[in-house]
Amino acid sequence: MSDYEQDLIDAAWPYWECEAEIAKRFYAKASDEDHIFYLRAQLWKELNPVDGFFNGLHKELKDAVDMYPKVDKEIDRHDYHFLLLQLVQEFNHYVVLADIFEHLMGRPISPDDTVQLTEEKKLGDVRRAYVEQNDPLLNAAVGFTEGGGARLFREGKELNGSKVNELTAKAMQTIFDDEHDHYMEQAKEALSHIKSEEDLQRMKDAIQKISEQRVWMRAEMFRDAMTKDEIESFIEANRR
């Protein structure tokens, strides 16, 4: 691993671990109703992956069709393949989590069941502000923070005991395996844009800003499993 790669991971580390801690505390006590609450929010996220960077699965799928004739002209085939793969995987994340939602609700899911919570909306705005600067380095920083180092899924895949926990563990294992690959791909991309210490600093700043907002997004969807004070001291204590 190059030094820069370690620097990027260190920048995100306390925030990623905080996402894990929030999820762990939530799952330890979650009622069926708590599961339903967070699933509505997570399902929205899967249908609108990396909101602010992507524009919802429907539009991204349409754009992918339009991009096809440009493959190996303006668009690298490897990049195009990664895009297709990511869209298929994100749709599958929706599929597996919607199955849990239906199990809990005892009825079919409808499009109105998903919800974009306030902090998720803010996260989209933070990403959009970087993307609008049209700077490949900042785009790569947005990509690098996708999925928060897969920490929610790392915790979720260890659940056991109840039926809902077993269903969740299976779904989260699937998502973890995918998100882990996304993260490796995006890390490679991010490193290719760092040519100086100044670039590194700019990328680290963006990674920290986005990652912090990700933590508030998790706190909201996991019903304040950690308080604001607990989150702030956790992040300080886990800085690298």
Question: Which spans of this chain sit near Fe ion (rule: CB under 5 A)?
Answer: 46, 90, 93, 147
Cα(6)–Cα(102) distance, rounded to whole angstroms? Answer: 41
Cα(133)–Cα(111) distance, rounded to whole angstroms? Answer: 33
Specify the residue, 128 or 202, whose C-beta has the smaller distance to Fe ion: 128
Question: Which uninterrupted H or E stretch holds 238?
Answer: none
Specify the residue, 53 or 80, whose C-beta has the smaller distance to Fe ion: 53
Specify the residue, 40 or 200, whose C-beta has the smaller distance to Fe ion: 40
Q: Residue 222: which of 17, 12, 21, 15 has the closest Cα?
A: 21
Report phi then psi at 54, rounded to 5.
Answer: -95, 170
Least distance from Fe ion to the Cβ atom of residue 197, Å: 30
Report phi then psi at 210, rounded to 5.
Answer: -65, -45
Least distance from Fe ion to the Cβ atom of residue 228, Å: 26
Specify the residue, 30 or 97, whose C-beta has the smaller distance to Fe ion: 97
Asked whether the beta carbons of 10 and 230 are under 8 A apart, the reply is: no
Least distance from Fe ion to the Cβ atom of residue 91, Å: 9
Least distance from Fe ion to the Cβ atom of residue 143, Å: 10
Specify the residue, 86 or 200, whose C-beta has the smaller distance to Fe ion: 86
Least distance from Fe ion to the Cβ atom of residue 34, Å: 20
51 forms bridges with which residues in the sheet?
Answer: 54
Asked whether the beta carbons of 104 and 32 are under 8 A apart, the reply is: yes
Radius of gyration of the CA atoms of the chain, in A: 18
Question: Nearest 5°: CA angle at 187, between 185 and 190?
Answer: 115
Specify the residue, 80 or 234, whose C-beta has the smaller distance to Fe ion: 80
Cα(211)–Cα(151) distance, rounded to whole angstroms? Answer: 12
Specify the residue, 93 or 127, whose C-beta has the smaller distance to Fe ion: 93
Least distance from Fe ion to the Cβ atom of residue 196, Å: 30
Token pair of 177, please? 């395996």
Least distance from Fe ion to the Cβ atom of residue 39, Å: 13
Residue with structure tokens 């370690």? 6
